[in-house]
Amino acid sequence: MLAYDISWDDLRIFLEVGRHKTLSAAAKQLGVDDSTVSRRMAQLETNLGETVFVRGRNGFQLTAKGSELLGCVQDMESSALAIMESRASSDRRNPRGRVRLATMEGIATLYLAGEFVRMRDRHPDLEIELITSSQAVNVSRREADLFLSFFRAEGRGLRVEPIGQFDLHLYGEAEYLQRHGKPKSIDDLSKHVFASYVDDLVHLDSVRWLREVAADLKVVFHSSSMLAQMSAAAAGVGLVMLPTFAHPERFGLQRVLDEQTKVNRVLWLTVHQDLEYTPRVRAVVDYLRMIMLRDYPYRG
């Protein structure tokens, strides 16, 4: 087999199938139809003379040859991206381009959205795509340039660092607290009801923070959205545990048991090593480090 028997188009399609595991997901990412992906994969295997995928219950799984090829193609993609970044961002003092940051709904909506508006004063040629997800986002598969999470991500070629740390507290609405009494101890929480997550829809154990305060608390309002929980608590449904970055006081909520509920989370920033020194990504990383150091510094 000669090198020119394999086209970059076939390898690019192979790369997306390897990342997404299904023909339909790869086709959607590439903007082609499923039959095109299937035909190009068959052509690639014919040119290679070996099988690179086997179909399983969970989609297409890489063979040993496929895994070897995937690593090579990822390296090719990284080199191509580096060339493109170098051409697009020759002026490091004025980074330009689009950066996709994936994170949780609450911190995206209640904190980062406003901060990124202010970032435009520094970097007017940067565009931010703020993606909210309740699940882990795979930076290795280029699902995002940056991932900000409550846990340390793992994967090939990733740079992960603790970038900040925030506390969580219990909050209640004034009329609710007047009717039911403001708790003075952890034991008093058994007399109250709570808003919290839908337990069987929680994808990350790191958001099960209410359990760290007390066991067997009575939850009467469940939502997969932290914003919905906060809104319900502001309407008087019960107590809710919220991070400090939400600034619940602006929604009429009062902090309770301030010194008796010691819960905090570290914020981890993940970036692929191939992107971390590109001007557009570096500008966003530096800005995130600055605002976290100012507002929610990592305490180690």
Q: What is the pLDDT of residues 182-194, one digit of tens each?
A: 999 999 999 999 9
> What whole-number distance in Å separates Cα of residue 226 and Cα of residue 80?
40
Q: Does residue 86 surpass a pLDDT of 60?
A: no
Contact 130, 116 (CB under 8 A): yes
Cβ–Cβ contacts within 10 Å for residue 265, how many? 18
Q: Does residue 1 surpass a pLDDT of 50?
A: no
Lowest-pLDDT range of 80-89, 191-200, 273-282: 80-89
Which carries the bigger pLDDT value, residue 252 or residue 68? Answer: 252
Give the pLDDT score at 82: 59
- Partners of 48 in the β-ladder: none
State the Cα torsion 128-130-136-142 to the nearest 10°. -30
Q: What is the pLDDT of residues 100-154, one digit of tens each?
A: 999 989 999 999 999 999 999 999 999 999 988 756 566 556 678 899 998 888 8
Check for a shared fold between 3-83 and 166-264: no
**How is the chain split into domains, by residue range?**
3-83, 97-165+265-295, 166-264
> What whole-number distance in Å separates Cα of residue 46 and Cα of residue 112?
48
Phi, psi angles (nearest 5°) of residue 263: -130, 135
Q: Does residue 32 surpass a pLDDT of 70?
A: yes
Which carries the bigger pLDDT value, residue 103 or residue 74? Answer: 103
Lowest-pLDDT range of 29-43, 133-147, 159-173: 133-147
DSSP, residue by residue, the chain: --GGGS-HHHHHHHHHHHHHSSHHHHHHHHTS-HHHHHHHHHHHHHHHTS--EEEETTEEEE-HHHHHHHHHHHHHHHHHHHHHHHHHT--TTS--EEEEEEE-HHHIIIIIHHHHHHHTTT-TTEEEEEEE-SS---TTTTS-SEEEESS----TTEEEEEEEEEEEEEEEEHHHHHHH----SGGGGGGSEEEE--GGG---GGG-GGGGT-SS-EEEEE-S-HHHHHHHHHTTS-EEEEEGGG-GGGGTEEEESTTT--EEEEEEEEEETTTTTSHHHHHHHHHHHHHHHHHS----
Q: Which of 238, 227, 146 shows the shortest CA–CA distance to 190?
A: 238
- Partners of 101 in the β-ladder: 130, 146
Contact 89, 279 (CB under 8 A): yes
Q: Which two tokens stand for residue 200?
A: 């069987």
Phi, psi angles (nearest 5°) of residue 287: -65, -40
Fold for domain 97-165+265-295? D-Maltodextrin-Binding Protein; domain 2 (3.40.190)
Q: Which pTM value belongs to this model?
A: 0.70
Q: Does residue 64 surpass a pLDDT of 90?
A: no
Give the pLDDT score at 138: 61
User: CATH assignment of 166-264?
Assistant: 3.40.190.10
Q: Which of 157, 163, 95, 103 shows the shortest CA–CA distance to 132?
A: 103
With cut-offs at 50, 70 and 90, classify the pLDDT of residue 40: confident
Q: Angle between the 23-30 and 34-48 helix axes, to the nearest 10 degrees?
A: 100
> What whole-number distance in Å separates Cα of residue 268 and Cα of residue 152?
6
- Please enumerate in sequence order all residues whose Cβ is within 8 A of that of 210, keeping only pairs 6 or more positions apart, or say none: 194, 196, 217, 219, 241
Give the pLDDT score at 258: 85
Q: Which of 162, 159, 164 shows the shortest CA–CA distance to 281?
A: 159
Which carries the bigger pLDDT value, residue 207 or residue 130? Answer: 130
CATH of 3-83, picked from 3.60.15.10, 1.10.10.10, 1.10.3720.10, 2.30.40.10, is 1.10.10.10
Across 223-234, average pLDDT: 95
Across 42-56, average pLDDT: 84
